[in-house]
Structure 1
Amino acid sequence: MTSPPPTAAPTTAERIRSACVRAGGAMIAAEGLEPTPTPVHHLLGDGSFAITVPADGAVASAVLSAGAAGVQAVLEMTDYAPLPLREPVRSLVWIQGRLRGIPLCEVAALLDLIASSEPNPALLQVISNPRQPVDEGRQLLMCLEIESVVVADATGAESVPLGALLDADPDPFCAMESCWLQHLESAHREVVERLAARLPAPLRRGRVRPLGLDRYGVCLRVEGDDGDHDVRLPFARPVSDVAGLSQAIRVLMGCPFLNGMRARRA
């Protein structure tokens, strides 16, 4: 019996979890109000999102006025490419649900829970004590109870069940991906060129840029006269650490010294 082919790409749920970690442009849009930035957007184990909104803003006012009923809202997360590309958006994630306030007596414990896995500096701006002044820059922690999750990218749009999202994990390299790809582009163009040599001949005439990197492979963006083309180069098998990632990239490059060893002199 032959072995099944290696997984070539992250699942949609895995891609969403990774986007949650690195999303640089998250907005919350409550019904009837202008969208507002939310610097904290953390998926909790119960299937809801903890988010923050400006304490003196319209969204906070609407949610607090609604009481236990909350308001209908959509969280939009934008996953940007780490390089200045012609089309910088890699994917958009829309999470629709009901936005409710969190009692201040529960905020401190929830902040500790979030910080234990995501030490976001924006957490320091959250009001966790009723005596704290509600001045400019302060944030309120709220809960978005998920009703639907949709992700859209160059291949189209897809709905993801909440259970699949909870079962998935972020890619182990997603927090470091931007720095690595920027370094690859600026200091190791020869690696990009070796990877580009694996592309179909018509695509090699465009400008090849590193677009994505995960445990399953490398994605390249080809900016050509006929538009943009994204091509994934899968690893032979998924990797889980930096050593495995380095070796997998060497294999894609066709490097004969997979462990970085030099040829022995005669």
Structure 2
Amino acid sequence: MALHPAGRPAPSTGVTPVAAGPSPVTSTPRDAVAARCVLSAALSLRLTLGDTTADLLSAHAVLPDGTIVLAVDAMSRTGGLLVAARGHRGAVRVDVTHLAPVAVRSRVRDRLRILGTARRFDPAALDACDPATVMSLLDLPPVALWAIEPDEILLDRATEPVAVDLGTYRAARPDPIAVDEAAHLAHLTRCHGDLLDRLGALVDSAVSAGATRMVPVALDAEGIVLRAERPDGHADIRLSFLHPVTAGAGLAGALRTLLG
């Protein structure tokens, strides 16, 4: 767990909302799935308690109902602040930056902000967990576990911020392909350059004209996004699958159908 030096003040005080900007719009079920994917795929997150921030690395897991579990040393400053914040609605702020898992320009996709209530993790919650979630909890550092129950969720995208409905968020499940997106994209890039060339040929020539390379930058159950990179910028093009993919094993078939 990596912490800021000795309780360095956060850029903004308290757990007040982010800087003024466009008002959040009403969310859709797809936004709730996106929020769950951001949390599940993230290796790190930023925790804010009052005026103190801590960057937690490989120290969180997500329960099936969307509750965030944090592993924080009870004897640390952050642990003490969690004790003080326990039970206070919206007293804990969690920020996650979602990056494209590819070496390209403009990698930031989404910024997720969650205001929540901290409670001690109840081991009884394990009864409602699937084996994969149990394993993710066992992989956490062997320190005190805290459950952060979301009270407010904001998914900030390039276009406009979205206030995610809590009920929809809790009922959502991460996209079965997006949670392993980095591994899938790395495999495609490393082992299937010919397939990527064929996919690139599906892109409108008016969009791909002048591109120096075509890079896969996003992948989920419903399609793949290629980026046409040019010296002066880029364009992202989404190619949708004929049918949603329900597991990684079906990805190759979906790509073949797309090419066919």
TM-score range, shorter chain: 0.7 to 0.9
Q: How does 1:81-100 map to 2 (within 5 A)?
A: 81-100=100-119
Give the equivalent residue in structure 1 for 2:171. Answer: 167
Decide which moves more: 170-179 or 112-121.
Answer: 112-121
Is residue 251 of structure 2 the alignment partner of residue 245 of structure 1? Answer: yes
What is the CA-CA distance between 1:37 and the residue it aligns to? Answer: 0.9
Is residue 139 of structure 2 the alignment partner of residue 120 of structure 1? Answer: no
Which of 148, 154, 158 is 1:154 aligned to? 158
AA aligned to 1:16 is A
Instruction: Provide the identity percentage.
Output: 28
What is the CA-CA distance between 1:35 and the residue it aligns to? Answer: 2.9
Q: Can you list the C-alpha shifts for 1:5-36, whole angstroms capped at 9, x where unaligned?
A: xxxxx811111222222112222111211233
TM-score computed with the length of structure 2 as normaliser: 0.76
Give the equivalent residue in structure 1 for 2:239. Answer: 233
Aligned in 2, Cα 1:166/1:229: closer, same or farther, shift over 3 Å?
same
What is the CA-CA distance between 1:70 and the residue it aligns to? Answer: 7.2
Is residue 192 of structure 2 the alignment partner of residue 177 of structure 1? Answer: no
AA aligned to 2:44 is G
AA aligned to 1:50 is V
Task: Give the total of aligned pairs.
Answer: 228
List gaps (5 residues or longer) in structure 2.
1-28
Contact 2:85 2:92 in 1 (8 A): no
Is residue 41 of structure 2 the alignment partner of residue 41 of structure 1? Answer: no
Decide which moves more: 143-152 or 34-43.
Answer: 34-43
| CA distance in 2: counterparts of 1:114 and 1:40, whole angstroms | 15
Contact 1:33 1:58 in 2 (8 A): no
What is the CA-CA distance between 1:175 and the residue it aligns to? Answer: 3.6
Contact 2:89 2:116 in 1 (8 A): no
TM-score computed with the length of structure 1 as normaliser: 0.74
Q: Can you list the C-alpha shifts for 1:79-100, whole angstroms capped at 9, x where unaligned?
A: 2222212223332211112323
List gaps (5 residues or longer) in structure 1.
1-9, 127-138, 255-266
AA aligned to 2:204 is P
AA aligned to 2:113 is W
Give the equivalent residue in structure 2 for 1:261. Answer: none
Contact 1:99 1:145 in 2 (8 A): yes
Contact 1:101 1:143 in 2 (8 A): yes
Q: CA RMSD, aligned part only?
A: 2.6
